[in-house]
């Protein structure tokens, strides 16, 4: 029985089975998907720190994710929550989120006024390989929690490895930024 459950879990993580009607990307411990896709104009590792276990006033539950960006270290930086824990993309890789209509999440700024681009899906790499869909939205945060949604209607969601992303730009946040994210889910 353990073998069957392990095989089914591996197939789901590898994108060989469709995800359920609701796919929770981030909510509480244990984390299902890693915040492992650091990126930036110089790699993202020097200018962005991510703490997915912050207890600083979560939207719900006990934790939220905190991302702190140092604009003096890099022109822009961001992070992906990755289905596979790496940058693999393309047909049959990641999650099959077919049937999902919305990517929803809650976010707030540390002081308010932070400008962030939230999104999902990897764009084409240098070989032209991409997730089956990608989109983003740029928002200005307040210091209070707000709920956001990205409409997924009509999208081919058959292979999504970049489950959720956030990007902070120095031009929009010249003094840097700290933001908080919680309750990320596909429905």
pLDDT recorded at residue 45 = 79
Q: What is the pTM of this model?
A: 0.87
Tell me the C-alpha distance between 91 and 68, whole Å. Answer: 33
- Using only C-alpha atoms, what is the Rg of the chain? 16
Beta carbons of 64 and 28 less than 8 angstroms apart? no
Main-chain phi, psi angles of 16, to 5 degrees: -90, -15
Domain residue ranges of the chain, discontinuous segments joined by +: 2-186
pLDDT recorded at residue 43 = 79
pLDDT recorded at residue 3 = 47
Tell me the C-alpha distance between 133 and 47, whole Å. Answer: 28
Tell me the C-alpha distance between 122 and 134, whole Å. Answer: 6
Which of the listed CATH numbers 3.30.300.30, 2.60.120.430, 1.10.730.10, 3.30.450.20 matches domain 2-186? 2.60.120.430
Please list the pLDDT of the chain residue by residue as tens digits (187 residues). Answer: 444 444 444 444 444 445 457 999 999 999 999 999 999 998 777 899 999 999 999 999 999 999 999 999 999 999 999 999 999 999 999 999 999 999 999 999 999 999 999 999 999 998 899 999 999 999 999 999 999 999 999 999 999 999 999 999 999 999 999 999 999 999 9
């Amino acid at each position: 029985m353990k073998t069957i459950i392990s095989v089914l879990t591996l197939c789901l993580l590898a994108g060989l089975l469709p995800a359920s009607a609701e796919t929770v990307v981030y909510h509480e411990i244990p984390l299902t998907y890693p915040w492992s896709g650091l990126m930036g104009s110089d790699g993202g590792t020097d200018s962005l720190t991510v703490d997915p276990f912050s207890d600083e006033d979560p939207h719900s539950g006990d934790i939220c994710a905190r991302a702190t960006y140092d604009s003096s270290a890099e022109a822009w930086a961001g992070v992906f929550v990755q289905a596979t824990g790496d940058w693999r993309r393309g047909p049959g890789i990641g999650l099959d989120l077919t049937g999902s209509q919305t990517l929803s999440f809650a976010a707030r700024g540390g002081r308010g006024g932070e400008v962030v681009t939230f999104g999902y899906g990897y764009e084409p790499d240098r070989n032209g390989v991409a997730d089956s869909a990608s989109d983003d939205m740029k928002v200005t945060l307040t210091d209070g929690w707000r709920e956001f949604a990205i409409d997924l209607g009509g999208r081919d969601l058959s292979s999504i490895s970049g489950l959720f992303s956030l990007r902070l730009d120095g031009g929009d946040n010249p003094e840097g930024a700290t933001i908080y994210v919680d309750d990320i889910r596909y429905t």
